[in-house]
Each structure stands twice: as C-alpha cells, then as structure tokens.
Amino acid sequence: MEKFMYLFRGGDNHAHNANDSAVAQENMQAWMKWMGELGQKGILVGAEPLQPTGKQVSGKNKVVTDGPYAETKEMVGGYLIVNAKDIDEAVEISKGCPVFNENGKVEVRPIQKMEM
Amino acid sequence: MPEQSDNTVNKLVDHFFRHESGRMVAVLTRVFGFANIEQAEDIVQDTIIRALETWRFGRLPDNPQAWLYRTARNKAIDLIRREKVKHKIETELAPLLKSEYTLVPAMSEMFKENEVKDSQLRMMFACCHPAITKEAQITLMLKTLCGLSTKEIGRAFLSNEETIQKRLYRIKEKIKEEHISLDYPGADRMPARLDSVLKALYLLFNEGYNSSHPEKLIREDLCEEAMRLTILLTENEKTNQPYTNALLALMCYHASRFNTRLDDNGFIILLKDQNRKLWNHFLIERGNDYLNRSAYEDLIHEYHIEAAIASVHANAKSYEDTDWPLILKLYNSLANRVQNPVVSINRCIALGEVKGYEKAIEELEKINGMSENCYYNASLAEMHLKAGHKKEALKYFQHALTLTSSNAETELIRRKINLCKE
C-alpha cells in the first residue's frame, strides 16, 4: 500500500460550509457517504478542507503577505490522503469524490518516501 | 390547588430533562463508543446545567429539545477538536469524526429523530447483554436510557446512592471488558437478544407495579419508563415483533389499574373490590390495540397468554361477569409452558371460580415447595374462606402474616383475619 494525496482544486461551493441550502445539504451528504465508504474500507488516512484565505510567508526574509491569490478555480480547497495499491487505483478511487459535482478537480499525487 | 399544578409542572420539567438526557447519552455513547460513556454523560450533564442556568433568567427557547441537542452536539464536536476524547473512538463513525469535511454534518445527523431512536435501541441491546445480570441490566437502563440519577435509582430500589454508584461502575467495567458495542445483534442472534431486552423491560415494569415501595410516584415512573422503552421497540421494524406488542399490551392492561389497586392509605384493594369505573380506559383501549397487533403470526409467546388473561379482566364489566372458563383455559396453557409457582397458584384461583373452591384447594395443596410463601398461603386461605372453612382460612392467613414485610400486605391480611373471626 502506498499513500496518495488528493488536492481538491476549485469547486463552486464547499460542502463543509455550514449552509442550509438544499444543494449544500446534498453535497454534505455526498461527502459523508464517500468518506464513510473510504473509512469503512480502512483506506482513509485523513482529510481536511481549507479556508480560502490565509497568509504567505516567503523569501529569506520571511516576508508575510496576504494570500494565496490564485484564481478560485485553481485554489486548493482541501486535501485527502488515502492508501492505495498504486497510482491507477488511487485515480480510480478519486473518481468517487463529490468535488466533481461542484465543478472542482482532483490532483492525485503520490506521497514521496524519503531515501534513508 | 396551586401546589398540585406546581407539582405537575415540576414533574413535566423533570421528565423532559430526564428523557432528553437519556436520549443524548445514548446518542453520544454511540458516537464515542461505550469506553467513553463517562465523557458522554459529562457532556449531557454540562448541557443540562447550561440549560437550567440560561433558561432560568432568560426566555425559554422556542424548541427546548433542539436547543439541548445543539448544545450537546457542539460540546461533543469541541471535545473531538481538542482531541480530549479519552479512549480511541472505534465506532463506525470514527473516520467521519476525524475530518472537518464530515465532523459537523456527521454529528448533526446523529441528533436527528430517527438516529436518536436508533441510538436508544442500540443502547437497550447493549444494556441487556446476556453477560450482565438482570438486576444490573435494569439499573443500567434506568441510568443511561431513562436518565434517572443514581440517587433516584437508589430510592427506587430502596438502596443508597453509594451502592448504586458502585454497581454502575462494575457494570460499565464489565461492558468495557467484554467489548460490548452499540451495534445491533446480527439477524441470527436477534430473537434471543430481543428476548433478553423484553424480559428486562418486563422486570422493570414489575419493579414499579408490584413493588411495595412506599412512594407511588416512583412506582409510577418505573412503569412509565418500561412502557416508553417498549413503545420504542414497536416503532422499529427489527424489534417490532408480535411478542413485543403482546408485552406492551400486558403493560397497558396492568397500568390501567394502577390507580385503583391501593386505597388512600396505601392499602391493597383486590381486583374483586376495585372500582372498575376508575380503571384507565384509554390504556385498556391501547392494550386491546397492541394485543390485536401482536396476533399477526402463529408464534405464541408467554406474553401473548399473559396479555390475553389481562385482557379478559380488563374488558370484563365486573368480577362476576369475568369469563373465568376462558381465563382457566389460558392459565392451563401458560402453566404448560412455564414452570412458575405463581402461575400455578393463579391457575388454581381461576379453577376455583369455574369448578368450585374445594377443587381449587385440592389443586393448591398439590403445589410443592411454596409452604413458606406469603402469596401461596394467602391464596390457600382465600379459597378456604370462600369455601366457608373459616378455621382453615384463619390458620393460613395467620401463617401468611408471618411471611410478609410489606405494610400494605400486612394490613390486607389483618382485614382478612378479621373476616375469618366474624
């Protein structure tokens, strides 16, 4: 088993926002269902949604600026880590992600094991 | 009567908090797992305290139940976010609680009506696990499902708070040792496990109905709690079995006589002398309803027969009008199924009404091992009295008198003894 990180980019609407609209409710249910299934299979390692705002610290001088300023559709909105056999399986699993219903996309990245 | 209406309000408020805390403990224990039940109970207690503080001086929220659930839910979420849950959560919900994607919605879901009821049922099965003694099962149900305090349970069992606390501690340790979870038993084990739950509820009901507890309110409460939980079982298709309905019917019939069984001084009024107009006809109707619903399969359970007997009594216009031959027939089939001396004694009393008291005495004398039982001696005495044998009646009543510690029973037997001397 290898670990893979899904980076969720874009998406109209974050399912985790406490929003009572019917669509938000539906999205929430979809996330619960999908992550519940991953949890039951025992392959879910962790996942968190991210707020759209934050700070950037950069350079040798550690300059702090507001950010990130990426376009909404490119912005990382959250991540999830799964255990999968290989990248193909990780990709297959990612297809169940509700972010696609929200016009988002998933970037599947193998976690790098550092050489000893 | 302002005092009485105050009492009614207090009782309502009391019951509201008691029942809601029972529900919230069931939900949170399901979420956190039984290993964390103390933390679940702490959250619920904090929630109730906050409600009392907030509501006392402010306005009551429009929906007090929703207020309580939201507060408890938030406290539970907070505990998880601060990673302060003592034992690792291993319930099926665990993966959803680990991520902010799903933590809040999963927790909210658990406080929806259906899930609350589901949690209560799961809790019932956990409390009535066969590895726990019956007495312990009842104690645990009263604490976790009915929301009674250890003090109240102590009062109900005529015991003290400390004893009950120790008992609860031991039961909880046992549940943790045995890894009893709040999952439903599998289909193959369901009938046996449901049987165990129903038996505990029946005992809980009897604890209230038959006990000689001096406080009527406490006895009433125990019966009410037993019925409330049995009703819950009839609302779920897994547990809504014919014999569940039969047991509920039985409870309704018995409860319908609750207020006529004792006089103002707390003395027993026998079935024959009860004012049937004062029986609770709403409950008798409900009993008839549940008994009808219990009859949709061939399977006959003891509860069916007991409920049928209670139904004949409840629906009879007077003691004399009672269909005694039918009652005798029902007791015959009950006696064939269960080895229970009380059933045998009751069968003999019915026999007396059908075939004469001499015959009843003859059959009562055949029952072994009951000569030092109060009910047996009193029944034998009663049959002798009805048959006109005052001397024998006096002898058995006097013996019965030495075998009871209940004031109500003592008084009843004394009155009977006076009749024998007339």
pLDDT at position B53: 87
Q: Which residues does chain B have within 8 Å of residue A40's beta carbon, measured at their own beta carbons?
A: 92, 95
A104 falls within a domain:
yes
Say if the Cβ atoms of A32 and B109 lie within 8 Å. yes
pLDDT digits (tens, 9 = 90+) for B58-76: 778 889 999 999 999 999 9
For chain B, what is the domain count?
1
For chain A, what is the domain count?
1
pLDDT at position B182: 85
Say if the Cβ atoms of A49 and B100 lie within 8 Å. yes
Q: What is the DSSP string of B239-277?
A: T--HHHHHHHHHHHHHHHTGGGSB-TTS-B--GGGS-GG
Closest in A32, A36, A48 to B100, CB measured: A48
Q: Give Cα B299 to chain centroid, integer Å.
A: 24
- State chain A's mean pLDDT as an integer: 88
A116 falls within a domain:
no
The CATH number of whichever domain residue A93 belongs to comes to 3.30.70.1060
pLDDT at position A92: 97
pLDDT at position A12: 64
Note down the domain range covering A95: 2-110
> Cα dihedral angle (B332, B336, B337, B341), rounded to 10 degrees?
80
Residue B57 forms contact with A (CB below 8 Å): no
Closest in A18, A32, A40 to B102, CB measured: A32
* CA distances to B126, B178, B184, B287, B337 from B193, in Å: 10, 16, 9, 24, 20
Rounded to a whole number of angstroms, the distance from the CA of A62 to the nearest CA of chain B is 29
How many alpha carbons lie under 13 Å from residue B407 in its C-beta half-sphere?
8
pLDDT at position B283: 96
Say if the Cβ atoms of B95 and A36 lie within 8 Å. yes
pLDDT digits (tens, 9 = 90+) for B227-250: 999 999 999 998 999 999 999 999
Mutate to test the interface with A, among B83, B102, B103 (most CBs of A within 10 A): B102
Rg value, chain A, Cα: 16
pLDDT at position A19: 57
The mean per-residue pLDDT over the stretch B339-362 comes to 94
Say if the Cβ atoms of B95 and A38 lie within 8 Å. yes
pLDDT at position B3: 47
pLDDT at position B187: 84
Residue of B nearest to A28 (CA): B105
Residue A73 near residue A9 (C-beta atoms within 8 A): yes
Residue scoring higher pLDDT (B256 or B215) = B256
pLDDT at position B215: 75
A27 falls within a domain:
yes
Q: Which residues does chain A have within 8 Å of residue B81's beta carbon, measured at their own beta carbons?
A: none
* CA distances to B11, B290, B345, B390, B400 from B381, in Å: 41, 36, 12, 9, 9
Q: Which residues contact B348 (CB under 8 A, 6 or more apart)?
A: B360, B363, B364, B367, B379, B383
Which amino acid is it at B243? Y
Per-residue pLDDT at B421 exceeds 90: no
Q: At what angle do helices B190-209 and B216-234 cross, to 10 degrees?
A: 160
Residue scoring higher pLDDT (A31 or B155) = A31
pLDDT digits (tens, 9 = 90+) for A44-64: 999 999 988 889 899 999 999
In A1-116, alpha helices (H): 22-41, 87-94
B148 falls within a domain:
no
pLDDT digits (tens, 9 = 90+) for B106-124: 999 999 999 999 999 999 9
Per-residue pLDDT at B183 exceeds 50: yes
The mean per-residue pLDDT over the stretch B253-260 comes to 91
| ipTM surpasses 0.85 | yes
First-to-last alpha carbon distance for chain A, in angstroms, is: 19
Rounded to a whole number of angstroms, the distance from the CA of A13 to the nearest CA of chain B is 13
Interface A-B: count of C-beta contacts within 8 A: 46
The mean per-residue pLDDT over the stretch B315-332 comes to 94
pLDDT at position A106: 96
Residue B190 forms contact with A (CB below 8 Å): no
B387 falls within a domain:
no
B399 falls within a domain:
no
What confidence category does residue A15 fall into, taking pLDDT thresholds of 50, 70 and 90?
very low
Q: Which residues does chain B have within 8 Å of residue A49's beta carbon, measured at their own beta carbons?
A: 100-101
Q: Which residues contact B206 (CB under 8 A, 6 or more apart)?
A: none
What confidence category does residue B205 fall into, taking pLDDT thresholds of 50, 70 and 90?
very high
Rounded to a whole number of angstroms, the distance from the CA of B78 to the nearest CA of chain A is 16
pLDDT at position B212: 65
A115 falls within a domain:
no
Residues in chain A whose Cβ is within 8 Å of chain B? 15-16, 18, 28-29, 31-32, 35-36, 38-40, 44, 46-49, 78, 80
Say if the Cβ atoms of A31 and B101 lie within 8 Å. yes
d(CA B290, CA B249): 5
- State chain B's mean pLDDT as an integer: 90
Which amino acid is it at B56? R
Residue of B nearest to A29 (CA): B105
pLDDT at position B264: 77
Burial class (CB in 10 A: 0-12, 13-18, 19+), B167: buried
Residue B400 near residue B377 (C-beta atoms within 8 A): yes
B19 falls within a domain:
yes
Other CB atoms within 10 A of residue B398 CB: 15
- Least confident piece of the model among A108-112, B255-259, B403-407: B403-407
C-alpha closest to that of B182 among B91, B57, B96, B79: B91
Rounded to a whole number of angstroms, the distance from the CA of A88 to the nearest CA of chain B is 24
C-alpha closest to that of B346 among B389, B319, B306: B306
Backbone angles phi, psi at A110, to 5 degrees: -65, 145
Residue of A nearest to B102 (CA): A32
Mutate to test the interface with B, among A8, A35, A41 (most CBs of B within 10 A): A35
pLDDT digits (tens, 9 = 90+) for A65-116: 887 766 777 889 999 999 999 999 999 999 999 999 888 999 999 999 888 7
Per-residue pLDDT at B37 exceeds 80: yes
Residue of B nearest to A39 (CA): B95
Q: Which residues does chain B have within 8 Å of residue A32's beta carbon, measured at their own beta carbons?
A: 96, 102, 105-106, 109
Note down the domain range covering B19: 1-111
Say if the Cβ atoms of B100 and A38 lie within 8 Å. no
Structure tokens that stand for B321 in this block: 């009008």
What confidence category does residue B157 fall into, taking pLDDT thresholds of 50, 70 and 90?
confident
pLDDT > 70 fraction of chain B, expressed in percent and rounded: 97
Per-residue pLDDT at A16 exceeds 60: no
A69 falls within a domain:
yes
Say if the Cβ atoms of B101 and A15 lie within 8 Å. yes
Residue B224 near residue B148 (C-beta atoms within 8 A): no
B283 falls within a domain:
no
Q: Which of 88-117 (B) contact A at CB < 8 A?
A: 92, 94-96, 98-102, 104-106, 109
Say if the Cβ atoms of B100 and A46 lie within 8 Å. no
